[in-house]
Amino acid sequence: MEAAWIAVIGTLGGVALTALSNLLSARLTANSQQAAAAWQRLYEGRNKLRDERRAAFVTYLSAYQALYHRAVEKIEAPHTSDDHDRFGGEERGSFSRAYQELLITAERTETVDAARAATAALWEAVKAAEYGPEAFREADERAQAPRRKLRAAMRDELDR
């Protein structure tokens, strides 16, 4: 074989090897970019859900506090029996909506169960406000543990 053919074959082999190397590198880069994009979408999706849960939890706790403070106002400045139907109407509605949103948004059973218990305890305290300070104080004491448990469940769910 002549030296010229050896040089041509060597050059063509080098070109083919370089092309194959570039194709392999491009494929690996594309796979890596696809994996990174999928991970990014997953990460952003999880963050969005976490932010939605956080917002639902904050809305619930804010509505809880508003209804609770309305019950405290009822104790501090009792009204006549005529306004029984109007007592906390707006707060009751806001709280009920926030509670439903929490039930839909929460992912963990522990959070939902804790929300049910805290909600039941709050309704007992609101109802007890109709019967006077002593009944409200007792109901409020019973509501403290479910409130703490709910806050802990919410924090646990958001920390995941």
Instruction: Give the residues of the chain that fall short of pLDDT 50.
Output: 82
Q: What is the CATH number of the domain that holds 131?
A: 1.20.120
Could you tell me if residue 62 is inside a domain? yes
Residue 5's pLDDT is what? 82
Q: How does DSSP classify residue 20?
A: H
Could you tell me if 126 and 64 are in contact, meaning their C-beta atoms sit under 8 angstroms apart?
no
Could you tell me if residue 41 is inside a domain? no
> What total of structural domains would you count in the chain?
1
Burial grade of 140 (CB within 10 A; 0-12, 13-18, 19 or more): buried
Residue 15's pLDDT is what? 85
Could you tell me if residue 85 is inside a domain? yes
Pick from 123, 48, 117, 112: nearest CA to 88: 123
